[in-house]
Amino acid sequence: MMGPGPLAGIKVLDLTSVVVGPSCTLLLAQQGAEVIKLEPPEGDLLRKLGGKSRTPGMAPKFLHFNRGKHSICIDLKSEGGREVVRRLAAGVDVFVSNIRAKALARLGLDWATLAGLNPRLVYCNIAGFGAGGRYRDKPAYDTIVQGMSGMADAMGRVFGAPRYMPFVIADHMTGFLAAQAICAALVGRERSGKGQAVEVPMLENMASFVLREHMAQRSYGPEGAIGDVRMFDPNGRPARTADGFICVSPNTDAQARGFFLAAGRPDLAEDARFTSVAARVAHTDAYFAVRAELLAQRTTADWLARLEAAEVPAMQVNGIADLFSDPHLADVGLIETQQHHSEGEVLALRPANRFSDGLPALRDAPRQGEDGPAILRDLGYSESEISHLLTTAVLVP
């Protein structure tokens, strides 16, 4: 269902790059906000870092993270470029950046300066580390934060040595949390009439994510054991069947009993180690080992039929390539064919979340700087002023 989206009328000035910030502003664009993506003369790094491209500067990852946005390419080292940003900031609802705070201050784009131009501005800085800590001025990428937050260590408890997840998960999650924080600040602005500054630090958010999951007995004191044992168990993973793999999660007492009955082992359904949630947690290693042994004895299709009849949560394991043919994803139209104005036919992802009043159709991910002159005209720049900015390389086409 098409509609303007709940953020229609909200204007966002986006000084973010790569994944963490573009994840945030993609969500805002999907929900109806107008996003002006301001890029440096060399363009967002993801234009080149995001995989082999059909045409220069339009890497696949860039296409997916930057749909729905307008691009203007400005040299912020010039006073003319900084003036463009100030004029933009004076007329938008949201300013979001993942540039370090010190650099923003040097550019005159700190919260105090921009709030003086626009008291209703919601100013969001996505940082590697919070401003109150000793790491505040250090650079950060997803891999740095995965390592520092305990995420790589959690993977190491399963695989034997610290390793990164094969996703820039810290970037993704921090970007999503930044979008949520921006929306919360916009709600607050509707009540108070004032904007505010929002800091969204990657390390603190990811450390909180890890600790909520794995603080465990340390919650009660320094001698407590750390970690949810179910997630670190060697069998806490997709289980091998006779012909492939399956995901099975019989968590409630009824589901655990149903699993054992579906497996033809009613004796295990009465085993005191497995009859309650508390007992199964206390005997996680035995419970997971028994499940793995039983699942290996039948085919995936056989298990799926048996477990569906027993109302036990279970599904097949999809490879990444299988997502393109998964029937449910086809039903909901997650992957759609798009005719991109410069790249030709490409596959794109529609918003996963639905709103009963509808969401807008997203414009193509922009070519670098392609909307610059139009954005400046909207700001009141004359054609001669725009020509001068182009000639002096303040504005890069």
Predicted pLDDT at 150: 98
Residue with tokens 């655990």: 256
In angstroms, rounded to a whole number, what is the distance separating the alpha carbons of residues 204 and 94?
Answer: 23
The CATH superfamily assigned to 11-209+331-391 is Crotonobetainyl-coa:carnitine coa-transferase; domain 1 (3.40.50.10540)
Residue (of 320, 323, 361, 368) closest to 339 by Cα position: 361
- The model's pLDDT over 386-396, given as tens digits with 9 standing for 90+, comes to 999 999 999 99
Task: Please check whether the two domains, 11-209+331-391 and 239-316, share a CATH topology.
Answer: no
What percent of the chain lies above the pLDDT cut of 90? Answer: 98
pLDDT of residue 194: 97
CB 174 within 8 A of CB 142: no
Q: Would you kindly state where each structural domain of the chain is located, as residue ranges?
A: 11-209+331-391, 239-316
- Could you read off the pLDDT of 336-386 as tens digits, one per residue? 999 999 999 999 999 999 999 999 999 999 999 999 999 999 999 999 999
* pLDDT tens readout for residues 16-71: 999 999 999 999 999 999 999 999 999 999 999 999 999 999 999 999 999 999 99
Token code pair at residue 190: 């509707």
The yes-or-no verdict on residue 144 having pLDDT over 90 is yes
Strand order of the β-sheet with 239-240 is: 239-240, 245-248, 314-316
Q: What pLDDT, on the 0 to 100 scale, is given for residue 74? A: 98
Distance CA 379, CA 397 (A): 17
Report whether 374 contacts 386 (CB < 8 A): no
pLDDT at 1: 78
Burial of 77 (0-12, 13-18, 19+ CB in 10 A): exposed
Answer yes or no: are the C-beta atoms of 218 and 142 closer than 8 Å.
Answer: no
Task: State the pTM of this model.
Answer: 0.95
The CATH number of 239-316 is which of 3.40.50.2300, 3.40.50.410, 2.60.40.10, 3.30.1540.10?
A: 3.30.1540.10
Average pLDDT for the chain:
97
Q: Is the pLDDT of residue 321 over 90?
A: yes
List Cβ<8 Å contacts ≥24 apart for 377-380.
379/84, 379/87, 379/88, 379/91, 380/87
Candidates 65, 130, 120; CA nearest to 92 is: 120
| pLDDT digits 0-9 by tens, 117-133 | 999 999 999 999 999 99
For the chain, the C-alpha Rg in angstroms (whole number) is 25
Give the pLDDT confidence score for residue 179 in this predicted structure. Answer: 98
Confidence (pLDDT) at 108: 96
